[in-house]
Chains A and B, each alone.
Chain A
Amino acid sequence: MKTLLVDDEPLARRELRRLLAAFPSVQIVGEASNIDEAHECIEALSPDVVFLDIQMPGGTGFDLLARLDHVPRIVFTTAYDQYAIKAFDVNALDYLLKPVEPQRLAAAIRKIQETAPRETASSGALPLEQLFIKDGPRCWFVPLRQVSLFTSEGNYVRLHWGQERPLLGRSLAALERKLDQKRFFRANRAQIVNLDFIQHVETGEGGRLHVQLRDGPEIEVSRRQAREFKERSTIA
């Protein structure tokens, strides 16, 4: 299990390294002392697990996650930010309080190994499965197959995810390149729609299509995209 340690305090990294030495399955591939370094390390080393501090100079651990396409397994290590972690709607995260108790660490590692191995962060070619989104004070891990619609808002993208409408700090075009082409379809200049959420389709004037989403708005498919849409839906 390739592991990366991210903490701005050298002593804290040293301590974690020592504690992890008791677990033969854990292979520490690198250390980073801020989120820029951590970002580089994750891209270069594609670790399976990241032990991540929250308060660091230049940006928090949450800021780091928001920058990543493929988020590895994260175990937050924190002196006192457990409330911050609990407050977020992030289910996929575990956390350890510093000083770290060996038993808690063992439990966290067991949990990681028990959960089915997911595709690793190295699989940059694979489509995105989930996104970590930090919108203002709130954070989410958003499973993309649950997102019905992406709407462009300037350089940002608004997600329609259940009742939530988090804002993602990327452009629609940049996002489209990374989405699963089988599931998501660019309906028009400003919208990408999840095909799984389509309830019914009507033909409108001038060759345009009107797509009704489950529990959602009606989307217009531009004339240019309508042909491709028909081809795709007959295949599917």
Chain B
Amino acid sequence: MRPTANIGAVRKTSPLYWALQLVGWGFHFNAQASGEVVFAGATWSQATMVWGTASVAGILLTQTFRWTAKRRGWLALPPYPLFARVAGSALLLAALSHLLVMSLSQIVYGTPVAPIMGSFYERLSESMQLRNQFIQILVIYASWLALYMAFAMQRRRQQLSEQLQSTQLRLLKSQLNPHFLFNALNGLRSLIEDEPARARDAVTQLARTLRYTLASGDEDLVSLERELEMVEDYLALESMRLAERLGVERRIEPAARASRVPTMLLQTLVENAIKHGIAALKEGGTLRIEARIVKDELRLTVTNPRPRGIAATDGAGVGLQNAAERLRLLFGARGGLNLDLSQPDRAVAEARMPR
């Protein structure tokens, strides 16, 4: 296993996408080339040179757009920045394609205007014909992008609601961690007689933890401030069990506190760090929780010592995988979770998301 791994799987491209891509650009090629042969008297080989190449370029250009949009997480952007990027892309792709068609026509027919354009706009000047040629190409790319975005947004919305529901369910189940719950209750039973005041506090903390966990299914995002309150309750209960084996260090930038974070995200990281790190060490150790703003990103980092020589479990636990999936669903490519196990005696989990 690699010491550092991005958690979670990448969604596969559907075969429908490729079918539409091939049919669409095939249709484009056929319409343009046959038009050029029938109306402008070009030969098939000439028309194929120009429009075959243009259609293949069309596939490559749109493919590049799609790759960029996915990689940069454009689908998760608010409407205006999203529109700006898509419109800009349409202009850029159309301009590139326009240049290509001009050069190909120049080579094949000796004029920058493709004959099919010339035959449609016979009476116009060459510059006007070129302008129309560009507009026609722009319409094609703009339609492609609009269609693609419509499909992609719809698909994303559907996935979001489906997966959010199922992750919420799984989350709820994994968060109501029976090990934690029953051990906490056992510790509590022990405290009742010897330290009733501490026992009362622990009951309150446990009640708040459970309430927060149960409510976490209703809301996707909470302020980091609120999440931290929950984490403190949780840590207090774990200290009851682990006593002096658990140390906690907090480095929370004040600016980060107002950021919105997925409910139970930090809690999952902390719980994981205790379960696989502190609680697995006889002498325990110190857990470090960091929250900082880097440019327009919030970074939550949980660092913990872990037993040496114990092979990391395959990939990451269910809890971390769910958390990674949720980040991706909520923030697209702008959210992510990384578990760094490159050091033999320490684990660093880092979650990134827009602030």
Residues of chain A touching chain B, judged by Cβ–Cβ distance below 8 Å, are 8-12, 14-15, 18, 33-34, 36, 55, 57-58, 79-80, 97-100
Contacts and interface: CB of A to CB of B under 8 A. Distances in A.
B179 A80 contact: yes
A33 B245 CA distance: 12
Contact of A34 (B181, B188, B242, B282): B282
Nearest to B180: A79
B280 A97 contact: no
A98 B282 contact: no
29 contacts: A9-B186, A9-B187, A9-B243, A10-B243, A11-B186, A12-B186, A12-B187, A15-B187, A15-B189, A18-B190, A33-B282, A55-B179, A55-B279, A57-B280, A57-B281, A57-B282, A57-B307, A79-B179, A79-B182, A80-B178, A80-B182, A97-B182, A98-B182, A98-B183, A98-B185, A99-B182, A99-B185, A99-B188, A99-B189
B241 interface: yes
B271 to A, nearest CB: 14
B243 A99 contact: no
Interface centre among B182, B189, B190, B194 (most CB of A within 10 A): B190
A14 B178 contact: no
Given A58-B282, A79-B182, A99-B188, 16 more contacts: A8-B279, A11-B240, A12-B187, A15-B186, A36-B282, A57-B279, A57-B280, A58-B307, A79-B181, A80-B179, A80-B182, A97-B182, A98-B185, A99-B185, A99-B186, A100-B186
Main secondary structure of the interface of A (DSSP, over half): loop
Interface centre among A10, A12, A79 (most CB of B within 10 A): A79
Contact of B190 (A11, A34, A80): A11
A51 to B, nearest CB: 13
Which 6 pairs from chain A and chain B are nearest by CB?
A15-B190, A79-B182, A11-B187, A98-B186, A11-B190, A99-B186
Interface of B: 178-179, 181-183, 185-191, 193-194, 240-243, 279-282, 307
Nearest to B281: A57
A34 B191 CA distance: 22
A8 B183 CA distance: 11
A36 B279 CA distance: 16
Contacts of A10: 243
Contact of A9 (B181, B185, B241, B281): B241
A33 B190 CA distance: 17
A51 B354 CA distance: 50
A35 B213 CA distance: 33
A100 B190 CA distance: 11
A64 to B, nearest CB: 14
B193 A18 contact: yes
Nearest to B178: A80
Contacts of A34: 282
Contacts of A57: 279-282, 307
B280 A79 contact: no
B182 A14 contact: no
A12 B190 contact: yes
A36 B282 CA distance: 10
A146 to B, nearest CB: 35
A171 B242 CA distance: 38
A14 B194 contact: yes
A70 B1 CA distance: 39
B177 to A, nearest CB: 9
Given A10-B243, A58-B282, A79 B190 contact: no
Contacts of A33: 282
Contacts of B194: 14
B191 to A, nearest CB: 7
A193 to B, nearest CB: 38
A31 to B, nearest CB: 14
